[in-house]
Amino acid sequence: MVALLDVTDLRRRLVDEGPYSALDVVTVTGSTNTDLVAAVGEGAADRTVLFAEEQQAGRGRLQRSWISPRGYGLHVSVVLRPEAVPQSALAWLPLIAGVALAETVRDMFGVSATLKWPNDLLLGDGDGWRKAAGILAEAVSTAEGLGIVLGMGVNVHHGADDLPKGAGGLPATSLAEQGVAVDRQEFAVRLLTALAAADDLWRAADGDVVASGLLDRYQRLCGTLGQRIRVELGGNDLLGTATDIDVGGRLVVRGVDGASTPVSAGDVVHLRPS
């Protein structure tokens, strides 16, 4: 039987002694992102956190959904209100979360982890990469200003039969399937602490990812760079090689014609070498 999260301990370490303003854990919900989007409309403070032990309608990019059994995953959403950061820089928030997630997984568990642009955590190596987590950021405009709800869903204790079907040409995996024993309580604290530290750097630099070092950190973690890829753009696919992440967080793709195109959104499929 998996251990459930201890909300009292999380509040002590992440709110009373940490960088967050409020934190709750619910047993079951449809989606933590949906819940916090509603909370932003009701005035939820910067760095309000919501964990769910079980999600019944989790949401990812392109409206993909999944169900995760109770206590198997780490499902968390955070309200962020970076008021001093230009809105043009807000597209970096899911990438910053990816940096925090990948670095935490590498440091805590010693496994090979990489990022598939813009928002997937992959575990494995080489041709064996599998998706273990996704990140979703949603903007909410209110009378008090813009709020961002940043959600992360990580497959932790899932066995092969519990995993969702992979997307973007990659099968799913979990930390357990990679041979890792996880204390979700410690993982939650380390991940949220790393996210706040990266967010602090970004805010202190007024959203400048070069000055904050976050562009370099993301590029070093991004396994999409150097890959032959297909970017699915709703019927107008782009084939080529991923060559860079620019200061806007866009993926730069060198097409088969040699021209470079920056892509701000799209589903990326890593293609096998010919």
pLDDT tens per residue across span 78-121: 999 999 999 999 999 999 999 999 999 999 999 999 999 998 99
Residue 126 confidence (pLDDT)? 60
Is it the case that residue 39 has pLDDT exceeding 60? yes
pTM of the model: 0.93
Is it the case that residue 34 has pLDDT exceeding 70? yes
Is it the case that residue 158 has pLDDT exceeding 70? yes
Strand blocks (E) in the chain: 22-29, 48-59, 65-68, 73-80, 113-116, 120-123, 130-142, 145-155, 228-232, 238-245, 251-255, 260-263, 267-270
Residue 62 confidence (pLDDT)? 45
Residue 61 confidence (pLDDT)? 46
Is it the case that residue 2 has pLDDT exceeding 90? no
Candidates 114, 218, 120, 125; CA nearest to 179 is 125
- The angle at the Cα of 141, spanning 135 to 146, to the nearest 5 degrees, equals 75
Q: Which range is least confidently modeled, 77-91, 152-166, 183-197, 221-235?
A: 152-166
Exposed, middle or buried by CB within 10 Å (0-12, 13-18, 19+), for 78?
A: buried
Residues 6+ apart with CB under 8 A from 219: 225, 244, 245
Mean pLDDT confidence for 237-266 = 95
Mean pLDDT confidence for 19-26 = 98
Residue 273 confidence (pLDDT)? 64
Residue 163 confidence (pLDDT)? 81
Is it the case that residue 162 has pLDDT exceeding 50? yes
Q: Which range is least confidently modeled, 116-130, 154-168, 222-236?
A: 154-168
Exposed, middle or buried by CB within 10 Å (0-12, 13-18, 19+), for 254?
A: middle
> Which domains does the chain carry?
7-220 (3.30.930.10), 225-270 (2.30.30.100)
Confidence of residue 167 (pLDDT cuts 50, 70, 90): very low
How many C-beta neighbours within 10 Å does residue 160 have?
Answer: 11
Confidence of residue 65 (pLDDT cuts 50, 70, 90): low
Mean pLDDT confidence for 214-231 = 96
Ramachandran angles phi, psi of 5, nearest 5°:
-70, 145
How many C-beta neighbours within 10 Å does residue 76 have?
Answer: 24
Which residue's entry shows tokens 């970076």?
Answer: 82
Exposed, middle or buried by CB within 10 Å (0-12, 13-18, 19+), for 3?
A: exposed
Mean pLDDT confidence for 136-151 = 92
Q: Which range is least confidently modeled, 118-127, 139-148, 182-191?
A: 118-127
Confidence of residue 66 (pLDDT cuts 50, 70, 90): low
Candidates 158, 6, 132; CA nearest to 70 is 158
